[in-house]
Structure 1
Amino acid sequence: MICSPFVTRSTAPLKPLATLVTMFLCLTNILIAIRVNHAGVDENSSIFTKEEFAISQRQLRHTIDEHSNLSNTIQTPPFTPQESFGACALVLNQNHRLTEWIAYHYFALPLRTLVIAYDPKSTQRATDLLHRWKDVIDIIEWEEDDYLPANWTEVVKRQNPSDKPIERLIHEHRQVYFMQQCTLTLAAKNVSRVIHHDVDEYLRINTDIVKGYDTTRPGHISYFLNHQNTSKIRWLPNASCWLFVRLYFIPWNTATAERDRQNRDDSSWIRSFPLETLNYRYRKTRAQQTGKGIIHLSHLPTTVLANRENIFEKWMSVHNPLGRPLCQGPWPVATSPLLLNHYLGSYEAYKFAAQWDPRFRNDSEWERRLGRGKGEPVADESMTNWVDAFVKWQSEDVARVLLSDAGWRQNEP
């Protein structure tokens, strides 16, 4: 192998990042050769231990991160963090979804503040993938101790008798208490709006009724909400909270979907990324009846957020964050200006999640989720244009890095 970083198929020198990667790989080969020669082992035998290989991967990631200046090249939307959206996400081993979810909402909302909390059963941390966004998104990572007091589960058991399994009951309370503390944190940062939905759900404009709106513009959802007062049609009432229904996307007609995917004009490198928003284009006809919400923090009465010293006072809920009359909606799909795309994902990802999430019990539960909702699946490509727009906005090189580990891979740990 020729290790000079200047030997390429053309006479032009490699880009600095490619040069660094090449040099790193060459040095690795040299070290392997030294170890082989010194140890007198066969070249086909295992040279590095699993731990050493993991260290080498981390070193490469660190080298790329330190020298690529990615943070200086990520394009920022024309909204300050305070004018933009914040998000609260409680996750359980969902790194394979976070990359795509963050990229989309950074582009569409835009998302500029994010609080991530890890379920205590999590074996993954998202710190590495979050790091690439550090200069354009204000990101806070919480463990359970960061937003809940000691022995809180005992309080839940005493205060909330229920027929539900205790593990499920604790999960539901944890989710609500996280929503509460996260909302208070974002309010203290003067963030304009906050979304409370999961990382398999994507907020979008309903282009079937908001016709002709440019959804390829970075921050187009904020543009829409900011300018609805000046438009001829007022889509949403003045309210502290809006609820929107979810459209349920499932794996369906995979042969046709694969053929359609291959025939699309997407760049070949994008096709190779297992993005849920591109690869799952069939949804159930009927929307899910339970919605998720946007809280408009600047419209909230001060009394709603102030003087809440008792963390076990449940004043929010998952599907109606502030309750009525503060929350308006959800509206039927035919009249709702915003919707949520909810992605079931692949069977393999479901089985991966089943190791920790008691809701994903067995294949019967998978079949139930696959059949959730009424009506035959219908094709829906209403938000698939975001990827091309994101690549064009960020440049291909930057988009490749930002989306590099998006989607489910068969080799997930």
Structure 2
Amino acid sequence: MNPETKRQKKQSVLQCFMLALLSACFLIAANTIFHSAQWITGEFSNYQKHKEAFLQSSAVNTTKLEHRERGMSSCLLVMDDNHFLIEWLAYHYHVLPLRHLIVAVDPRSRTSPRSILERYRTRINITLWNDKDYYTANQKEREEAEYWAERKFGSDIPKSLIQHRARQRLFYYHCMQHLKAEGREWTLLTDSDEFLRINYQTVHQVSNPAIDSIVIPPISEEGSVLTFLHHNQRNPAFNISSSGPCLQVPRIRFGTVERDNVHVSAHNTIGINASALQTTRFQTHAKSGNYPLNRISKVLVNLQQVPWEDLVPVESIHLPLRHLCKRRKLHIRTHQQVLVLQHYIGTWQQYSFREDARTGNERSAQSYQKAANVAQETDDAIVPWIQGFVEHQGLAAAQELLKDVGEVPVVSQVPSVNKTTPVKKSLAAKEPPAKPVRWLLTDPPTPSIQLLPLAATNQTKVPLVLAEGVESVEGDDEIAPPDKIDWDKAFP
């Protein structure tokens, strides 16, 4: 074969190879475009399906705002805690700012939050749910949730407690779906005795104003939490964006030991009864490392970053997004996070009023006695919120929004939720604590006023204590029943 023929043959082979390569590239590109179009269509269809299911439901009673303000959202399950709810609403309306709220009322509740929620009808978009809106509507879903709760926490606990655990998880699941369908972003999953704020001590310690572009609004400024998140979400010093859509927030338990409180006197002079507010009255709390008292962390969720397929029935109210919440330690110290939740126990009258399903198991006179008398550290960073709230709302409006705050209603007959387990006595009977406890002036008279010894402020790290046979506390909203906690380690 002469050289010219060889050259032509090589060119033909090369041309065939190039043609085959181009054909393959074309097929790959066409396939990619086809599947991308399918994915986009599927996502849009999925969004429309959920939007219709959650926004057009006639069973949901929603108060619409004439002018929607951009703000944060929250899911709140309540039961006989109006005395906390009044302050919780005012505080988060100002500090977050809370603008979209879904409230579910436990069917065993003897009081209704409706009149309190009505105060915010022109301020917050509020949706009020009952059991049929999320818990009893789907029988299979409910049975699966109760079966899961029984397996997780044991079949020997009362039926009411199993339903409580299942109700929590289904409520968070449906609430997040509803808020995502409405296009909401940051959503707080917490209780009415927990108050979210910027962790100013940690933020100032880890940031360097000389080199970092940071915004740290004071708590007295309206919307301080959202302002902080939006301006600092990608700041490497705070490590917020790396947490994904689930931002774990540590809780700090505040007791009822009172110091000479200049804050109460100061705010009383501006027309606000600060002695009725948890956030201005109490400043003593457990140390960050005291896990038996502080309990497990909660979360702030960015729903815009959550795909629809990841919104499934919640396994853990502390890690509500199974695939997106980082499986890091559930017990984290305050210096590990730029936000913190202040968790208040309240007075004995407030604590014992609610017929909680955990009464006699995780809630008892003993557990109250220990938690109420904690005074390992002091923190008053939250106090200035009330000054900002009054300045922004005006004194008359602030007084109206805070009307009856902290007051516990008188109920003629208090049913027990543990009738099937008589050994677990009701707290509503005001059973005396096993040891003397300091009673506050607002509480019923008692012959005992002795105060337990206070814990030292310079103690070392407290080891984690679990219930017998428990290998992990992941998914539980309590570290252990009071009779399983080593209180000598909690209170060195």
The two structures share one fold, judged by TM-score above 0.5: yes
**2:110 maps to which of 114, 119, 123:** 123
Deviation, 1:229, is: 4.3
Superposed, which structure 2 residues align to 1:12-411 within 5 Å?
A: 81=69, 83-149=70-136, 156=145, 160-161=150-151, 162-163=154-155, 164-211=157-204, 213-229=217-233, 231=235, 233-238=237-242, 239-252=244-257, 254=258, 256-257=259-260, 259-261=261-263, 263-264=265-266, 266-271=268-273, 274-286=276-288, 288-305=294-311, 314-323=313-322, 325-327=324-326, 331-353=332-354, 356-361=355-360, 365-372=364-371, 376-409=375-408
- CA deviations 1:221-271 (Å, max 9, x no partner) are 11111011465734413311111110000111x3x34x5455435535313
Distance in 1 of aligned mates of 2:76 and 2:344: 16
Shift in alpha-carbon separation, 1:232–1:183, aligned structure 2, 3 A: closer
- Indicate the SS of the match to 1:178: helix
- CA deviations 1:181-235 (Å, max 9, x no partner) are 1111111111111111000001110110223642221111111110114657344
Distance in 2 of aligned mates of 1:323 and 1:107: 31
- CA deviations 1:128-149 (Å, max 9, x no partner) are 1111211221101111011123
Deviation, 1:374, is: 11
Shift in alpha-carbon separation, 1:205–1:370, aligned structure 2, 3 A: farther
Deviation, 1:303, is: 2.2
Deviation larger for 334-343 or 264-273: 264-273
The structure with higher relative contact order (CA 8 Å, sep 6+) is: 1
8 Å Cα contact 1:250-1:370 kept in structure 2: no
Distance in 2 of aligned mates of 1:382 and 1:141: 32
- Indicate the SS of the match to 1:133: coil
8 Å Cα contact 1:241-1:328 kept in structure 2: no
8 Å Cα contact 1:360-1:366 kept in structure 2: no
Distance in 2 of aligned mates of 1:328 and 1:373: 31
8 Å Cα contact 2:134-2:174 kept in structure 1: yes
Identical aligned residues as a percent: 26
- Indicate the SS of the match to 1:208: helix
Shift in alpha-carbon separation, 1:390–1:169, aligned structure 2, 3 A: same
Shift in alpha-carbon separation, 1:384–1:88, aligned structure 2, 3 A: same
8 Å Cα contact 1:207-1:213 kept in structure 2: no
Counterpart AA for 1:391: V
**Equivalent residue number for residue 415 of structure 2:** none
- CA deviations 1:270-313 (Å, max 9, x no partner) are 135511111111111135241000110111123213xx6xxxxx
Distance in 2 of aligned mates of 1:157 and 1:395: 47
Counterpart AA for 2:96: L
**Equivalent residue number for residue 32 of structure 2:** none
- Indicate the SS of the match to 1:124: coil
8 Å Cα contact 1:250-1:344 kept in structure 2: yes
Count matched residues: 324
- Indicate the SS of the match to 1:398: helix
Distance in 2 of aligned mates of 1:299 and 1:132: 32
Counterpart AA for 1:222: L
Counterpart AA for 1:294: L
Shift in alpha-carbon separation, 1:165–1:366, aligned structure 2, 3 A: same
8 Å Cα contact 1:193-1:297 kept in structure 2: yes
Deviation, 1:325, is: 4.4
8 Å Cα contact 1:350-1:360 kept in structure 2: no
- CA deviations 1:343-377 (Å, max 9, x no partner) are 00000112211xx2132339982332342499743
**Equivalent residue number for residue 67 of structure 1:** none
Q: CA RMSD in A?
A: 2.9
**Equivalent residue number for residue 48 of structure 2:** none
- CA deviations 1:29-50 (Å, max 9, x no partner) are xxxxxxxxxxxxxxxxxxxxxx
8 Å Cα contact 1:285-1:375 kept in structure 2: no
Distance in 2 of aligned mates of 1:105 and 1:409: 21
Counterpart AA for 1:337: V
- Indicate the SS of the match to 2:298: strand
Distance in 2 of aligned mates of 1:241 and 1:204: 16
Counterpart AA for 1:387: I
Distance in 2 of aligned mates of 1:181 and 1:191: 14
Counterpart AA for 2:351: Y
8 Å Cα contact 2:145-2:170 kept in structure 1: no
Please, what TM-score do these two structures have when normalized by structure 1?
0.71
Shift in alpha-carbon separation, 1:412–1:276, aligned structure 2, 3 A: farther
Give the gaps of 5 or more residues in structure 2.
1-64, 205-215, 413-492
- CA deviations 1:147-189 (Å, max 9, x no partner) are 1235566555556443333221111011100100111111111
8 Å Cα contact 1:204-1:383 kept in structure 2: yes
Counterpart AA for 1:286: S
